[in-house]
Amino acid sequence: MYIADLYILVTKDSAGNIVGYPKSFGSSTKQQIIAFDNLESAKRSQRFKGGTIMRVTAVEEAE
């Protein structure tokens, strides 16, 4: 299966494991996956929300 370019922002621990996702707007909001279809948009969002940019290279159908 081909995957178009997809980038997400994640929060990682010191061992490099993904432990969460940046909060969207403000400290009282829930964490959520923020996805982008190009690297430039991901970098722009990273400046405001923090986190690490990861490129999604595989997916698995849940059902």
Q: CA 27, CA 29: separation in Å to the nearest integer?
A: 6
Over residues 5-59, the pLDDT tens digits come to: 999 999 999 999 999 988 766 667 778 888 999 999 999 999 988 899 999 998 8
pLDDT of residue 26: 65
Contact 18, 10 (CB under 8 A): yes
Three-state secondary-structure class, residue 8: strand
Rounded CA gap, 42 and 36, in Å?
6
Buried b / exposed e over 1-11, threshold 16 CB at 10 Å, is: eeeeeebbbbe
